[in-house]
């Protein structure tokens, strides 16, 4: 089996991806500075004898070179994944998100890595009115974080063209699933809604709740990453990763309440004033993902939410 590097391995998506790689028998070097990654996730990965953790930042070129050395594939998920933080601290987030990504690409080039898969974001589309979002649309970032992720895509394409380094950038939409931190600034609405409803509290909705999002289960995102590592036509491409279906926040809450049952039936949304900058609708066109990666989402929103409610209930019971 191959040696693989996962940056951000203690994060939400990175942890699931690293664990799937380990289940498949690969040797995984995980790099994380735990600024947003979790020690609990690293502890789960440490149960596998073929997992090796390096603690440090992708902004440190030397530790990136150590993490990448000898790897066949790199899955680059490390970042400061927060729009509000990027607005408050554009210089620091740029140094990590863009400068750190260049460190990863440069280390990959020097180590003759066979494929680099970069985690990017649907935030690249910004407030473009066209729906569903397809990769031929021009980027319209409306935050430093979004601009930084677009810069990472451009660097990936540049390294593919200028140096022949096989890179592919994946634009994740709203990812959800087990181990997502409801307190994170990056967290989707889903874990926040579930925790409040399971606690007997009304879910907080900013605005009328009719804003629509494309929610994709983390296991589908993991599969997309694995496909991107081997798809022959993927290098140099930017590809959406999503479910291909959008749901309103009110529809989302209704599905969660159905999964929880009678105890949540009376907990109607607590509507708060809309937040500035929130997009009204975001949905993904998956035509390119199907063509380039052979990707097809498998987890329906209803099934993913029902499974998540069961796992959160079990976690609460263990904690109690």
Q: Are residues 227 and 194 in the same domain?
A: no
- Asked if 66 and 128 sit in the same domain, the reply is yes
What is the residue range of 206's domain? 177-214+245-283+299-319
pLDDT, residue 58, reads 98
* Residue 66 shares a structural domain with residue 88: yes
In a domain, 289, yes or no: no
Verify that 158 and 40 share a domain, yes or no: yes
What CATH number has the domain bearing residue 266?
A: 3.90.25.10
Give me the number of domains the chain comprises: 2
* Pair 166, 184 in one domain: no
Are residue 130 and residue 267 in the same domain, yes or no?
Answer: no
Q: pTM for this one?
A: 0.95
Task: Please name the residue ranges forming H helices in the chain.
Answer: 12-23, 39-46, 61-68, 83-88, 90-94, 100-110, 144-163, 189-198, 218-228, 249-260, 287-288, 301-319
Residues 118 and 197 in one domain: no
| Domain-embedded: residue 292 | no
Same domain, 89 and 237: yes
Residues 55 and 159 in one domain: yes
Q: Does 226 fall in a domain? A: yes
Closest Cα partner for 17 from 103, 76, 101? 76
Does 96 share its domain with 118? yes
- Asked, for residue 294, whether it belongs to a domain, the answer is no
Q: Average pLDDT per run of 10 along the chain, which is 320 residues long?
A: 96 97 98 96 98 98 98 98 92 98 98 98 92 96 96 98 98 94 71 94 95 96 98 98 96 97 95 81 95 98 96 84
- Cβ count near 28 (within 10 Å): 26
Structural domain contains residue 291: no
Residues 26 and 53 in one domain: yes
Query: What are the beta bridge partners of residue 238?
Result: 169
């Amino acid at each position: 089996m191959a040696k693989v590097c996962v940056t951000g391995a203690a994060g939400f998506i990175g942890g699931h991806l690293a664990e799937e790689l380990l289940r498949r028998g690969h040797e995984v070097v995980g790099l994380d500075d735990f600024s947003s990654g979790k020690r609990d996730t690293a502890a789960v990965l440490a149960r596998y004898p073929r997992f090796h953790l390096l603690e440090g930042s992708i902004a440190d070129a030397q530790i990136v070179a150590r993490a990448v050395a000898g790897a066949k594939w790199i899955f680059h998920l490390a970042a400061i994944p927060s729009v509000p933080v990027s607005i408050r601290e554009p210089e620091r987030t740029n140094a990590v998100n863009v400068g750190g990504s260049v460190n990863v690409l440069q280390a990959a080039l020097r180590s003759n890595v066979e494929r680099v898969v970069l985690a990017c974001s649907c935030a690249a589309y910004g407030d473009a009115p066209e729906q569903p979002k397809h990769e031929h649309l021009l980027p319209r970032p409306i935050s430093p974080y979004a601009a930084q992720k677009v810069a990472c895509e451009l660097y990936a394409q540049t390294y593919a063209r200028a140096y022949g380094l096989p890179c592919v950038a994946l634009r994740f939409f709203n990812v959800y699933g087990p181990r997502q931190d409801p307190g994170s600034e990056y967290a989707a609405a889903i874990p926040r809604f579930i925790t409040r409803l399971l606690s007997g509290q009304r879910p907080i909705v900013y605005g009328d709740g009719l804003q629509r999002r494309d929610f994709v289960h983390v296991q589908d995102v993991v599969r997309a990453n694995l496909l991107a590592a081997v798809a022959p036509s993927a290098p140099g491409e930017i590809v959406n990763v999503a479910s291909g279906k959008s749901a309103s926040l009110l529809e989302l809450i209704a599905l969660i309440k159905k999964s929880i049952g009678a105890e949540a039936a009376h907990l109607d949304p607590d509507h708060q004033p809309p937040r500035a900058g929130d997009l009204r609708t975001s949905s993904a066109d998956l035509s390119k993902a199907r063509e380039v990666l052979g990707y097809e989402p498998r987890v329906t929103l209803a099934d993913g939410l029902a499974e998540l409610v069961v796992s959160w209930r079990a976690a609460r019971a263990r904690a109690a």
